[in-house]
A and B are shown apart, each in its own frame.
Chain A
Amino acid sequence: MFLDDYFRQYGLVAIFCVVAVAVPVSMMLMSWGMSRVGLRPRAPSAVKAETYECGMEAIGGKWNLFNFRYYMFAILFVIFDVEVIFLYPWATKFLSLELFALIEMAVFVGILLIGWAYAWRKRDLEWG
Chain B
Amino acid sequence: MLFQDVVFWLLTVVAVGSALGVVLIRDLFRAALLLVAVFVAVGGYFVLLNAEFLAVVQVLIYAGAISVLIIFAVMLTRDVQQGNPPNRLQIPAVALAALLLAALVTVAVDTQWSFLPEGERQSVELVQTAAVSDISPETLEQAGAAGESAAQGVGLADLLIGRFVLPFEAVSVLLLAALIGALALVRPRPAPQDARASGAESASESAGAGAAGSEAD
Prevailing SS type, chain B contact patch: helix
**Interface size for chain B: under 10, 10 to 19, 20 to 34, or 35 or more residues?**
35 or more
Q: Contact check, B56 vs A85: say whether CB atoms are below 8 A apart.
A: yes
Tell me, rounded to whole Å, the shortest Cβ–Cβ distance linking B1 to chain A: 9
- In the complex the two chains form, what is the Cα distance from A3 to B5 in whole Å? 12
User: Chain A 52-81, CB within 8 Å of chain B: the 1/0 string?
Assistant: 000000000001011011111011111101
List B156-186 residues whose CB lies under 8 Å from chain A. Answer: 156-158, 160-161, 165, 168-169, 171-173, 175-176, 178-180, 182-183, 186
Residue picked from B168, B169, B176, B204, most chain A C-beta under 10 Å: B176
**Residues of B near any A CB (own CB < 8 A):** 2-4, 7, 47, 50, 53, 56-57, 60-61, 64-66, 68-69, 72-73, 75-76, 78, 81, 132-133, 138, 153, 155-158, 160-161, 165, 168-169, 171-173, 175-176, 178-180, 182-183, 186-188, 202-204
Which residues in chain A, 19-70, are within 8 Å of chain B measured between CB atoms?
63, 65-66, 68-70
Closest B residue to A14 by beta carbon equals B7
A contact residues, total (Cβ < 8 Å): 51
Also in contact, A78 and B173, with CB within 8 A (given A65-B78, A93-B157, A101-B161): no
Q: Which of these, B47, B53, B60, B169, contacts A111 with CB under 8 Å? A: B169
Contact A90 B160, CB 8 Å, known A66-B75, A75-B186, A76-B179: yes
Q: What 0/1 readout, one digit per residue, does chain A (93-125) give for beta carbons within 8 Å of chain B?
A: 100110011001101110110110011001010
